[in-house]
Amino acid sequence: MSKHIFTTEQIKELRKNIAVARCSERSITYSKEFKINAVKQHAQGLASSEIFRQAGFDPKVLGKDQPKECLKRWNRIYRTKGEKWLASENRGRLGGRPKKPKDMSDADTIKRLETEIAYLKAENDFLAKLRAKRAE
């Protein structure tokens, strides 16, 4: 996430742009169509800053590196996972830590937590040995 904070006026202006799906003071979510078109235009040799300028974005508001970084990330996703994944609304929510099943009994929960604690203790022991070895 960017350290840049948008003003209320900048947010209002950004939300008017059809290439913006959502906007808050710290982030912009670009529309699916814009991302796909931007990746395709970039593949044809158009510069990232030019793609964003043509879409109506002010480089002073976004920051000079934002277009380049967005296209770098979108190109990677497009190459590795395809257009469908780039346009997916759930793209960021499909990974992460697995959720605990709702029907897990207390005994099962305790067993799972004990296993997790044993794993973390072993990991801590390993890291302590590694630090000691580096200190030698």
In this prediction, residue 5 has a pLDDT band, given cuts at 50, 70 and 90, of confident
Average pLDDT over residues 108-116: 91
Give the residue from 11, 10, 6, 30 showing the smallest Cα distance to 19.
30
Its pTM stands at 0.62
Domain extents for the chain? Answer: 8-93, 98-136
